[in-house]
Structure 1
């Protein structure tokens, strides 16, 4: 057999083998068409581990793959305003309501909730451990000048923290010595708090999945002002015709369906449920 013919056959065999390997590696349903969406979401849904639990169930049910862009809620909303995401899964209801009012989504839906907690060093220099009044706790932290690590990133958690400082009558700004803005997500901010032996406000889901706690523990919880609601929206094709509106609607509809709500409720760490579904309630 001529060398050129042998080489062509060898090349064809190698090409077919590579194609079969690639096809095998693709997710179910990807062979017929590439069904996928981009979801801009909070760092808490990712760093708590929820998406690792939730998204495979959604993809199995619908054949739609999800790529998550994990940002602070403020950044996620801006991503949606630019049309760089098909759906949003975030947690600052006033900002989400404005997003709908501005025409960037047709509707917003409650999906689930959990709560924020104040964590701090076991030595508790501000003397707030065991309290349930988050505003009084922040007043005490400021009065003592005890270290406090803030996300400082316009996230839902940061917005909630700023509302609490406002209620406490305390004006905060980075560079005050005791108050440090990290400009980063919840996990890195908790790492900073652990390194500084500082107080911080965190969502409970991220805290339960956080391993590098150092000397930190929950010091304040149970205040109704620490309620943390999550919402979901599909970006409007009227604003951005290129978005995958049909697939985004499937994502929203599945999350608020009994199947999606049961999947959310089923996510636990050490037997403790992290998020509580409340769509339509």
Structure 2
């Protein structure tokens, strides 16, 4: 770091971004933040938790920016006056992961609700994040679409209360089905006998949004620095940086701030 950049960083300080485990564990932040920090001199500290927890951190005023992926929860956050403005940033999709042996016979199914119904009928092991994350809420929505009250679950259904990476590790150890965001799956190494079983259903679309925490409610929020980060994320440069992140040549996130 040059003296000029170091001085700029010291003057600018840092911001805290409450975000999801999927954005961190997929490696996206490791790709994006050095680019932004070099350009702006603003250091970014990421707290990676489930979407529900990230929004609660914002509600407490313990973050300057929230970047998450559960639009109904984001809209509730905005309706409460906790955010200044919500911006679409990027999307990817969810995939249903399962063992190669496919005990529920769901591989190749194009309807994810049908696949979930088959898993329940087969009592095949299923791992849930169970952590109020965007992925967890997406999973619960699919159970509802399948006409299943997952509160009446049995031994086949394992709640982990963990982030995406640890939950995938549990699924690999149990040879179980699990819903994952594609980005974390592509960057996940400990796959065991797990493969993608179901993909491509439009209901597996996964939109990410970003919001500045409202400084009128939380005066400690670094509004100018936080907005600078948001402005960069949705700028052509930031959007190009998102699009350029790949693992083994495969793009993980698709920018859509201006669609």
Give the match for residue 180 of structure 2.
Answer: 202
Equivalent position to 1:228, from 182, 185, 206? 206
Equivalent position to 1:243, from 218, 221, 238? 221
Q: What is the CA-CA distance between 1:25 and the residue it aligns to?
A: 10
Equivalent position to 1:180, from 158, 174, 177? 158
Q: Deviations over 1:115-147 (max 9, x none)?
A: 000000000000000111100000000000000
- Provide the aligned length of Structure 1 versus Structure 2: 259
Bigger Rg, which one: 1
Equivalent position to 1:95, from 73, 83, 86? 73
Matched ranges for 1:62-81 at <5 A: 62-81=40-59
TM-score (norm 2): 0.97
CA distance in 2: counterparts of 1:123 and 1:264, whole angstroms: 35
What is the root-mean-square deviation of aligned Cα atoms in Å? 1.7
Q: What is the CA-CA distance between 1:34 and the residue it aligns to?
A: 4.8
TM-score (norm 1): 0.89
CA distance in 1: counterparts of 2:34 and 2:18, whole angstroms: 17
Give the match for residue 134 of structure 2.
Answer: 156
CA distance in 2: counterparts of 1:201 and 1:129, whole angstroms: 14
Give the match for residue 84 of structure 2.
Answer: 106
CA distance in 2: counterparts of 1:134 and 1:31, whole angstroms: 47
Give the match for residue 103 of structure 2.
Answer: 125
* Contact 1:41 1:90 survives alignment (8 Å): yes
* Contact 1:117 1:202 survives alignment (8 Å): yes
Greater share of residues in strand: 2
Deviation >4 Å, runs of 4+: 23-27
Q: Deviations over 1:126-169 (max 9, x none)?
A: 00001111000000000000000000000000000000001101
CA distance in 1: counterparts of 2:6 and 2:22, whole angstroms: 28
* Contact 2:9 2:42 survives alignment (8 Å): no
Give SS of 2:85's match. Answer: coil
CA distance in 2: counterparts of 1:65 and 1:185, whole angstroms: 24
Q: Deviations over 1:222-261 (max 9, x none)?
A: 0000000000001010110111000000011000000000
Give the match for residue 6 of structure 2.
Answer: 28
Aligned in 2, Cα 1:25/1:134: closer, same or farther, shift over 3 Å?
Answer: farther
Give the match for residue 166 of structure 1.
Answer: 144
Q: What is the CA-CA distance between 1:28 and the residue it aligns to?
A: 2.7
Aligned in 2, Cα 1:201/1:239: closer, same or farther, shift over 3 Å?
Answer: same
Q: What is the CA-CA distance between 1:60 and the residue it aligns to?
A: 1.0
Give SS of 1:106's match. Answer: strand
Give SS of 1:108's match. Answer: strand
Q: Which runs of 5+ in 2 are unaligned?
A: none
